[in-house]
Structure 1
């Protein structure tokens, strides 16, 4: 119990340090907390998403999920002690949305631990809709595949390990203000949607709101994302802040695991 209290105290202190520096940082702490839950035939699997590290990838993933692109798709690849892969509407492993998205790499996200949610691809800048969950550390994937999420609790990781080829992702649900986040990428999302509407005319519609509907919150959040999203080849001093969001999530995970044990 004492260890948990110390961890909580440290998290609170770090959160205060971050939030006190500016109003926009407070917005980022609030709105970066977007989580995705995969409803599968092996149970629910929840992930933290990382819009502060992979904004384009997260926007693409949320939009596809909200439009029902992933509903009732199957796990088409499962490699023991490596990865489980899905997100292909054909179920064959060679399908996608009809467009590609760029890679997004951050030094504070890596494959040195299991349970990461990342984009599958066929080479640089070829991500689309397919994703995978890692079962074991796989450091050779670093800077080759965009990481955009990480499992939340041990029960989520246990359900990942149960997945086999043929298991179904029934739907993907979200918590957090995804409408605000999507509004920041409205032009890009609508471009993707034009391709989706052409290739998959039966998908659900999910209108993207204009960022002006969110008053000043949208611009403050956008400015903060621009500030903390740093390409992997930029100054090392700027990377120090990347530790905070991941530390908070990791600490929350440890607390939950301690309670479960």
Structure 2
């Protein structure tokens, strides 16, 4: 009897004692299409993420959102009719801390079409971590083919006019960092928040 009681208590308390995941998968865990709002210095953009096709990228993105790690970062690379990229640097161009790189999911069927959001990466296909970009054109060259592409993980549902305006800001070559396409006037990501399920 005592043994049965102990087992019952253990089974009830085990989930409570288990450490909750902190990888983004715990955020609206049952929602395959969570929405987030990005508040920028030029207006607001709302995204619908596609966890059904890009679960790793979506959970990774939500983890940074949950940690408020995108606040006060900038769009550091803006190329008209191509991309608007950010999420990795603050206004002083200091690199923000990152979680480990994630696996490339570019073969998920989602294309780098206008107003989609995708993970930025280095030459290594599995080097995405915190930076993301908006496609400001149908960028077929970024889709997978013989080589890995760039993982699309959502699309813009509100605020396309804000992205259009950002994509047209004046840019220049930054001699300090040796980067091209840097906005002359910083475009700041003030806040990113997860919206209630629709």
Q: Please, what TM-score do these two structures have when normalized by structure 2? A: 0.67
Residue 35 of structure 1 is matched in structure 2 by 35
List gaps (5 residues or longer) in structure 2: 1-29, 170-182
Q: Is the 8 A contact 1:69 1:89 kept in 2?
A: no
For 1:107 and 1:126, how far apart are their aligned partners in 2?
A: 17
Per-residue CA distance 1:114-139 (angstroms, 9 max, x = gap): 00100000021000100000111100
- Compared with structure 1, are the counterparts of its residues 107 and 57 closer, same or farther at alpha carbon in structure 2 (3 Å cutoff)? closer
Aligned residues: 146
Q: Is the 8 A contact 2:116 2:134 kept in 1?
A: yes
For 2:104 and 2:143, how far apart are their aligned partners in 1?
A: 11
Q: Is the 8 A contact 2:72 2:90 kept in 1?
A: no
For 2:97 and 2:114, how far apart are their aligned partners in 1?
A: 25
- Structure with bigger strand share is 2
Per-residue CA distance 1:53-97 (angstroms, 9 max, x = gap): 111111111111111110011110100110000011345497651
1:79 aligns with 2:79: yes
Q: Is the 8 A contact 1:75 1:84 kept in 2?
A: yes
* Aligned counterpart in structure 1 of residue 192 of structure 2, from 166, 172, 182: 172
- Structure with bigger helix share is 1
SS at match of 1:60: helix
SS at match of 1:31: coil
Q: Is the 8 A contact 1:114 1:136 kept in 2?
A: yes
List gaps (5 residues or longer) in structure 1: 1-29, 178-261
Q: Is the 8 A contact 2:119 2:131 kept in 1?
A: yes
Q: Indicate the structure (1 or 2) with the bigger Cα radius of gyration.
A: 2
For 2:94 and 2:116, how far apart are their aligned partners in 1?
A: 20
SS at match of 2:78: strand
Q: What does 1:89-168 align with in structure 2 at a 5 Å threshold?
A: 89-90=89-90, 92=93, 97=98, 99-111=100-112, 113-123=113-123, 124-143=125-144, 144-153=149-158, 156-163=159-166, 164=169, 165=183, 166-168=186-188
Q: Is the 8 A contact 1:38 1:46 kept in 2?
A: yes
- Compared with structure 1, are the counterparts of its residues 171 and 90 closer, same or farther at alpha carbon in structure 2 (3 Å cutoff)? closer
CA RMSD of superposed structures (Å): 2.2
Per-residue CA distance 1:34-70 (angstroms, 9 max, x = gap): 1111001111101110101111111111111111110
Q: Is the 8 A contact 1:31 1:176 kept in 2?
A: no
For 1:50 and 1:126, how far apart are their aligned partners in 2?
A: 20
Tell me which stretches of 4 or more aligned residues in structure 1 moved more than 3 Å.
90-96
* 1:158 Cα offset (Å): 1.0
SS at match of 2:81: coil
